[in-house]
A = this chain, B = another copy of it.
Amino acid sequence: MTARAAIIGGSGYTGGELLRILLDHPEIEVAQVTSRQHLGEYVYQVHPNLRKRTSLKFSDPETLAAVDVLFLALPHGQAQKQIDRYTQLAATIIDLSADFRLRSPAAYEHWYGSAHGSSAWLDQFVYGLPELHRQELRHAHLASGVGCNAAATILALLPLTQADLIDRTQPIIVEIKVGSSEGGAEGNPGSHHPERSGVVRTYSRFGHRHTAEVIQELGLENITLTMTSVDLVRGSLATAHAWVRAGVTSKDIWKAYRQLASENPFLRVVKETRGIYRIPEPKVLAGSNYADLGFDLDEDSQHIVAMCAIDNLMKGAAGSAVQCMNLMLGFEETAGLDFPGLHPI
């Protein structure tokens, strides 16, 4: 059984990554990819990796035909305007923008600065991180994507929250280092290569919108996400500082990590004592859906540094979205997501 899929907003980085995955997905036929800006161009003219892989051209989003599954990869704020229309076109929808990640209209308004345009739909969506909502996704028709930094942060802390190891009276500080693809395919003065090359730019100290997802999904209130751009295209590393409860030992923490990794096909624990790659690092994850997790505990102070590395376009966007689709449509959870990444890169 093959499902027919369409991608709205296929010329951006997330759209292109969805397309790369779906073109090789054993259960999917890509019916349509839209782009207003590149209407009529071959998709490989924008995404040069897909040359000789498809003769699809970008089509007009207004002429979208019905499909089994619809991926929305539009700029934030667009999906909420047309969600009624989209639900007429496909039984299964995954929206990769920020429009349907939060359940609470008030939270949306607080973090995004204006009222949600279709707030009645908010509680119809499942937050699209399978490591949190695998069972719900198996029965869902609507899923959101994830914020890439939210995904890295949630997965960095998930072993600790699931096993209830964190001292919630203490602050949690998450320092996230990100590559340039996180800003999307449209350039800006700060993304011009002479200005962006070699950069170490702490561009958001407080109040990053992805914080809202972490608060919603992990129930942590006293948490700060601080974002620093570094010289990398794909990748996000979350380094989370927290404190574990009195009495919690390294052994307890190891157990929590191992259990989570054993239950989730794309989670790996990286904590080696030799070699170059002893801890999670994003560069070797480019193109892969893995999230690499690690930690270090200072036993004197119960201060823990929990790390998660991902490819922001994969586990932080398109990869998690396809993983959700696999669950929603009853496919193998890992279908289409088998690229392991490269070494060296």
Residue positions of A touching B, CB distance < 8 A: 13, 16-17, 20, 23-24, 41, 45-53, 170-171, 173, 175, 177, 179-181, 183, 185-203, 205-207, 224, 226, 228, 230-235, 237, 239, 241, 268, 270, 272, 274-277, 279, 281-288, 290, 292, 296, 298, 303, 305, 307, 309, 338-345
Do residues A199 and B47 form an inter-chain contact, with CB atoms below 8 A?
no
Residues of B within 8 Å of A276, CB to CB, are 189-190, 195
Within the complex, the shortest CB–CB distance from A271 to chain B, in Å, comes to 11
Query: How many angstroms from the CA of A279 to the CA of B206 in the assembled complex?
Result: 14
**Which of B231, B272, B343 has a CB less than 8 Å from the CB of A232?**
B231
**Which of B53, B173, B199, B233 has a CB less than 8 Å from the CB of A194?**
B233
Residue of B nearest to A300 (CB): B206
**Which of B45, B179, B194, B342 has a CB less than 8 Å from the CB of A180?**
B194
**Which of B51, B192, B277 has a CB less than 8 Å from the CB of A192?**
B192
**Which of B226, B232, B268, B341 has a CB less than 8 Å from the CB of A200?**
B232
Do residues B185 and A187 form an inter-chain contact, with CB atoms below 8 A?
no
Interface centre among A194, A234, A286 (most CB of B within 10 A): A194
Interface centre among A171, A183, A343 (most CB of B within 10 A): A343
Do residues A284 and B48 form an inter-chain contact, with CB atoms below 8 A?
yes
Do residues B20 and A340 form an inter-chain contact, with CB atoms below 8 A?
yes
Do residues A192 and B195 form an inter-chain contact, with CB atoms below 8 A?
no
Interface centre among A24, A268, A270, A277 (most CB of B within 10 A): A277
Do residues A341 and B49 form an inter-chain contact, with CB atoms below 8 A?
yes
Do residues B340 and A49 form an inter-chain contact, with CB atoms below 8 A?
yes
Residues of B within 8 Å of A53, CB to CB, are 340
Q: A46-B275, A175-B239, A233-B344 are in contact. List 6 more A-B contacts (CB 8 A).
A: A17-B342, A41-B274, A51-B270, A175-B228, A198-B233, A224-B303
Residues of B within 8 Å of A340, CB to CB, are 20, 23-24, 49-50, 53
Query: How many angstroms from the CA of A129 to the CA of B189 in the assembled complex?
Result: 32
Residues of B within 8 Å of A188, CB to CB, are 187
